[in-house]
Structure 1
């Protein structure tokens, strides 16, 4: 009787369920190529004509790293969390303090991607629903404004007409503040981004299987337009190869003048590589679910390998075209 009572009182062992295969992890990682939109402008401004090469080299480095991640993941088929957990395991024998700290630092460094991604998505939504109109010197509105305000310069007239025609939601701000070099505002972008983040949390809170099923469709919404952007200009011959010459670093960041392969040039190139790494290495998330794979022995490698191929294709095509 006591044996039965003891057995009933013992809680069931809590563990992750092996519900997904490599396809599920692939679809989760399918959102990574959209990260090219985070820094494509910054890298172009920093490296100039070398931008597409920066993306290519960075993606190749990330893809080669994926084999290392897959190998390490195979050593820990019952651990989820990806590279951060593997690093913590390596540190554990040396310091029980540094091990968890390394996990925290890894994800702390990646956390800004959430806010940046939601902010960029919010900006796209605003541009689609409430675009800011574009005027030129010959636009009827500008011509009428100059006629009504004699002596107004065309540039000032364009600015005035644009401000008047801009939807109110684009300039609305609930509250704003500046703290040293940092300024922040509670505007439409903030609230739309916050809603997007809460929706993402709600989806992920259902578990990896539900997340993978939803991400499949979101991933397709990302992949298909990016493939069109990357492939169509090549097929139609709309690529201006003059944009890739000369293949030298810029003389200074965000300056059009070409520089040379000196220390300043290499500094900009390596800076571009650093920025690109925040996007191109993101598909390592495919191995974060090892202990939830149905067959971790094969699913782990397939997940990160095929995710890497997808990212390599899009991270090279989109900046090139």
Structure 2
């Protein structure tokens, strides 16, 4: 009897690791089971994570914080142009954005490939506990004041991981439902200034005004904006999340440009309109009073106490969606790292349902470690992960530049000079954010971020030392 596709995927051997000089690492063995529409809610989940740092940022920057969101979202949208090009070339690579950095070095570098993939995974995995802690905070603030926030967050995490073990189809169906539910409070808040203009105060937005105690010199203000742009990047760059499913989408090569364009526009609109609406309704001071539940004050003004409770439930669904998006993207990234031979093969194990169970287990262990280090201090936890995220976005444009005319790369349409300039500018921008912004979050955050990000280098070296030599693989990625 012939084995089913999912059975064949579960038992297929893991390819050997790629070499530094081989053309490209191996393609994914994950089954293509979902339509292109399944990828859009993943990016939408990233767009909703504004709630993580909005209140705290407004406390230090006042209404100037709105421009931090707009600028970083614009940068995130521009990065989608590079991601779209590279993902269309190599649709067989699971994990999306981080999978191309092995060509950031002209002759190819397995070390940079491993560093980018691992850093990307580390960047998104803290989103699971962070978003679930915030979801638990919303429920505690409105319904269960005596509940333990951390215990509730852990219970929700267990339910999400159980859902993911049921297969990608089930997970994406849940994402679609959560995305629909999550749009309701956003529509309520965004429509509030139109439906009830008396509650929207333009004076909260213009003129731009820094809060008392903020720096009064240009360099000090710039440093403060870079500090918060560093944090904002983990949310406003989220449009790229849609690329993580490229190896599991049917006919992904044809659909990827459309997916990335929709995702980029969604995030750009979200990070422009949400700060504008919230600041206009409650002002910077109103946001800082409830920094972890920034939507609730606006909901109470617009809808009253009952409306506030309804919005809290809907926003809980929104935060769970973000956590679910992070689980899907991070698990596929770890799977591809193991496929390429940078991690032991057990992390590339696929269940009969086509789920990368080895990488899901890895996620759960690291989440437990991060919780033990930072507890419910969500901003420090996020800041440590941003170190890894920005490493990815420094290497991504360099990889784009290296692959433009590389003879081993599948051919693409003509690259205008403007795209070259854009790639250089993005690499420089993200380098400034990493160094100047990261330093301002303190040595503990930078130490944890760098330690987790760089840990893959010795791990990959040991894994490859005891693994068989890799065959030269190049065309598989392009033809997948």
- How would you bin the TM-score normalised by the shorter chain? 0.7 to 0.9
Post-superposition Cα deviations, 1:215-271, rounded to whole Å, max 9, x if no partner, equal 0011112122112112222342122111124325x3xxxx43565461001111122
Aligned to 1:160: none
Aligned to 1:28: 42
Higher relative contact order (CA 8 A, sep 6+): 1
Describe the SS at the equivalent of 2:110.
coil
Aligned to 1:149: none
Describe the SS at the equivalent of 1:304.
helix
2:239 is equivalent to residue 277 of structure 1: no
C-alpha change, 1:302 and 1:209, in structure 2 (3 Å) is farther
Q: CA RMSD in A?
A: 2.2
* Kept after mapping to 2: 8 A contact 1:92/1:98: no
2:254 is equivalent to residue 294 of structure 1: no
2:174 is equivalent to residue 214 of structure 1: yes
2:83 is equivalent to residue 127 of structure 1: no
* Residue 282 (structure 1) shift: 1.7
Describe the SS at the equivalent of 2:247.
helix
C-alpha change, 1:196 and 1:257, in structure 2 (3 Å) is same
C-alpha change, 1:289 and 1:92, in structure 2 (3 Å) is farther
Distance 2:200 2:265 in 1: 23
Post-superposition Cα deviations, 1:250-295, rounded to whole Å, max 9, x if no partner, equal 3xxxx43565461001111122221211111122110011111111
* Residue 117 (structure 1) shift: 0.6
* Kept after mapping to 1: 8 A contact 2:102/2:111: no
TM-score by length of 1: 0.72
* Kept after mapping to 1: 8 A contact 2:103/2:109: no
* Kept after mapping to 2: 8 A contact 1:66/1:284: yes
Aligned to 2:20: none
Aligned to 1:62: 76
Distance 2:136 2:158 in 1: 13
Describe the SS at the equivalent of 2:271.
helix
Aligned to 1:240: 201
Q: How does 1:92-241 map to 2 (within 5 A)?
A: 93-131=107-145, 169-170=146-147, 188-237=148-197, 238-241=199-202
C-alpha change, 1:231 and 1:261, in structure 2 (3 Å) is farther
Higher strand share: 1
Choose from 218, 223, 226 the match for 1:262.
218
Choose from 304, 307, 314 the match for 2:260.
304
TM-score by length of 2: 0.49
* Residue 93 (structure 1) shift: 4.3
Question: Gaps (5+ residues) in structure 2?
Answer: 1-9, 14-28, 278-480
Distance 1:287 1:29 in 2: 9
Question: Gaps (5+ residues) in structure 1?
Answer: 1-10, 132-168, 171-187
Name which one, 1 or 2, has greater alpha-carbon Rg: 1
Matched residue count: 252
